[in-house]
Amino acid sequence: MVALVIESALAGKLALFQKIGAARQKSAALRLLLSLALTLLCSLSIVMTIEWVARGEFASAWTYLLSPSRPGLATIGVVMLAMLALDALIGRAHLSALIVAPLLLIPAFISNQKQNFLSDPLYPSDFLFGRQIMELMPIMVRDRPWTAIALAIGIIAGTGAIILFWRYIRSHTVALSRKERFGRLSVCLPLAALFASQMDPTQYSLLREKLGIIPIVWDQTENYNHNGFTLAFALNLPMADVKSPAGYGPGAIDAMPARNYGYLSGPRQKPDVIMLMSESLWDPTRLSNITFTPDPMPTIRARQSGYVFSPEFGGMTANVEFEALTGFSNAFLPYGSIPYQQYVRRPLPSLATFFRGEGYMTRALHPFSGWFWNRNEVYRAFGFEEFHTQETLPPMDKRGMFAADDSLMKEIMSEGDAAERPFFFFAVTLQGHGPYEAARYAENTVDIAGNLNDDDRAALATYAQGVREADDSLKMLMDWAEKRDRETIIVLWGDHLPPLANVYPNTGYMPQQVATRKAPLDVMKKEHETPLVVWSSKKGVRKDIGTISPSQLPYHLLKTAGYEHPFYTGFLGRVQKKYNIVDRYQLATRDNQTFPDWARKEQELDPTVRDYRYLQHDMMFGHQYGLERFFPSHAELMGHENS
């Protein structure tokens, strides 16, 4: 009897323990379910806010999340995976939101601002020049002081809020057990690795297609619009790795015809050469229904040879400079890349090494810091003997915060007068840099007539005054050159249109504050052409050049100077006979015939363009199989320096 009682009691206790265990399991499962639901809600809120901030409008962000053809849900899933993995590493649920949210929201805000000023979203490569952004902060603060104050207050308040939330959540959440942490990591890490393996835009992925992720690398505006900021940014990460074009190799380089110009002695008397890339130089009289009195650029207009088709707008000066000095094209590089920051890591052929091979003194001048755009290292790689910056140049007069053009021209004349042998000077001016604050000049000498509001009139008046002073400084340089015994060649062009903000849409010149990246040729020319002057003190203006890419400047410069070269006049000469504009979106001929989206049709690529791409890749990333045939002076110079 006793045994039966004991057995019954034990059975009752066992049943009770089983009920307690089942209740605990239910409680743990419910707790896990609630925790996952809260993480999902946080992920949804973060993604929605990111898209709202990056796009600048709520409706577009909401459409992105709801559209079945867009990867809004996939983005939420990716953010949720990251949060769960971080929670496991930290040891407490939901703390990861305080890490993930600012890490994604701050770049989204920067991307929005970059689109407002430069028409492009934020790319991974932009973080390579964070120092430049910090250097420009005083200028931005001066232009928008109240915005800067509000931003500073927001950063301080946001940091304080994150610290308080961190303490509160940490003290009110239960620590994850070792089993819970391991379980989260064992699920999240493989899924994250699988997702990361599908993000190379150069490779087809069925999974990526099913998720609605479409790498639109040829049109980054649409890429960010379709895929959202987070995924588009991730898709651009692998693009920093430039792959060899199909068919590249020693055989492909050897098959290219290259004439030997070594037997030619060049001009009887070697001319001095000055290349001037003028910051934001553009013809403001092209604005609709606006008149300027007097003409702000009479010297440039009287001696204009044509136009440069800038691949940029409002900024990215270094990309235009890269083309002008090397003869290579940004069209063959990943969209959003900055070769000065990413790719110039070894000696590269340039006009500097060509002219050094001809016995010239080669010097670069820019009245700003040498580290900006990595110019110290780039100019060394390009073969310049000297680079004079604001640290080594004499004190210069200022226009606002920037060195005056006429002060830089006087320095060029002084250094030219002191030169004992022919010289090649490459100078980048600074005075024309935005923002175009109303009080930059003591007096604006160009009257503007037209229907403009006060802000637009003030910005345009400042810009027009800068153009007039740039024009005056060019005249001063040309007057000096005409008095010299030695022929002096001057090449001047604008790197891109100025960032005049609302002036463009308010005057009807462009529909937006920034230029389009992909449009019919007449629209692209209107929004990307800058004045070009190619002038000789002995021969006058080189006329009827038309509209050319910056990569064609070496051809016209050397032809004007009387030189021949396997690449700069030979190969580029063959290119310019077919195409005077080589842009990543379209090729254009002198008679305005266009070939849009040519880069997406590799099987149909013109052999001339294909060889151009091969040769550029060979010099920048490959084995330089064509170095001695196409760039003999560079090969000889590097041989001497290495011996």
Check residue 290 and give left, alpha or beta (phi > 0: left; psi -120 to 50: alpha): beta
- DSSP 3-state assignment of 432? coil
Helix or strand run (H / E) with residue 521: helix 521-528
Q: How many helices (H) and strands (E) does the chain have?
A: 24, 16
d(CA 617, CA 256): 14
Residue 19, pLDDT > 60, answer no
Per-residue pLDDT, 137: 64
Contact 269, 487 (CB under 8 A): yes
Q: Which residue has the higher pLDDT, 19 or 137?
A: 137
Per-residue pLDDT, 24: 45
Least confident interval from 80-84, 202-206, 596-600: 202-206
Number of CB atoms found within 10 A of residue 409's CB: 23
DSSP code string of 52-65: HHHHS-HHHHHHHH
**Pair type for strands 540-541 and 529-536:** antiparallel
Of the pLDDT bands very low, low, confident and very high (cuts 50, 70, 90), residue 202 is low
Contact 90, 302 (CB under 8 A): no
Contact 286, 500 (CB under 8 A): no
Per-residue pLDDT, 259: 78
Task: Name the residue with tokens 């203006």.
Answer: 541
Per-residue pLDDT, 16: 43
pLDDT digits (tens, 9 = 90+) for 532-583: 999 999 999 999 999 999 999 999 999 999 999 999 999 999 999 999 999 9
Residue 486, pLDDT > 70, answer yes
The chain-wide mean pLDDT, for the chain, equals: 86
Q: Can you list the alpha helix ranges (DSSP code H) found in 91-144?
A: 97-118, 130-143
d(CA 511, CA 350): 38
Per-residue pLDDT, 156: 84
Token code pair at residue 405: 């053009």
d(CA 573, CA 576): 5
Q: What is the mean pLDDT of residues 278-299?
A: 94
Of the pLDDT bands very low, low, confident and very high (cuts 50, 70, 90), residue 348 is very high
Chain centroid to CA 183: how far? 42
Residue 193, pLDDT > 70, answer yes
Contact 330, 584 (CB under 8 A): yes
Angle at CA of residue 305, ends 487 and 595, nearest 5°: 130
Residue 403, pLDDT > 90, answer yes
Least confident interval from 18-22, 81-85, 319-323, 424-428: 18-22
Residue 373, pLDDT > 90, answer no
Helix or strand run (H / E) with residue 506: helix 503-507
HSE (side-chain half, CA atoms, 13 Å) at 289: 11
Residue 286, pLDDT > 90, answer yes
pLDDT digits (tens, 9 = 90+) for 232-271: 888 887 666 678 888 899 999 999 988 777 656 678 889 9
Contact 121, 229 (CB under 8 A): yes
Contact 79, 100 (CB under 8 A): yes
Q: Can you list the alpha helix ranges (DSSP code H) found in 206-246?
A: 206-210, 220-236
pLDDT digits (tens, 9 = 90+) for 95-137: 888 889 889 998 998 888 877 766 678 877 676 555 556 655 6
- DSSP 3-state assignment of 493? strand
85: which residues sit within 8 A by CB, 6+ positions away?
Answer: 96, 184, 185, 188, 189, 192
DSSP code string of 321-337: HHHHHH---GGGS-TT-
**Dihedral through CA 23, CA 28, CA 33, CA 39, nearest 10?**
150
Q: What is the CA radius of gyration of the chain?
A: 30
**Pair type for strands 586-588 and 594-596:** antiparallel
Token code pair at residue 311: 């691949």
Instruction: List Cα–Cα distances, 484 to 414, 475, 479, 523, 600, in angstroms.
Output: 13, 15, 9, 42, 50
Of the pLDDT bands very low, low, confident and very high (cuts 50, 70, 90), residue 9 is very low
Per-residue pLDDT, 246: 86
Per-residue pLDDT, 552: 97
pLDDT digits (tens, 9 = 90+) for 499-544: 998 999 999 999 988 888 888 999 999 999 999 999 999 999 999 9
Intra-chain end-to-end CA distance of the chain, in Å:
106
Residue 187, pLDDT > 50, answer yes
d(CA 73, CA 425): 55
Residue type for position 353: T
Token code pair at residue 462: 């400042």
Of the pLDDT bands very low, low, confident and very high (cuts 50, 70, 90), residue 2 is very low
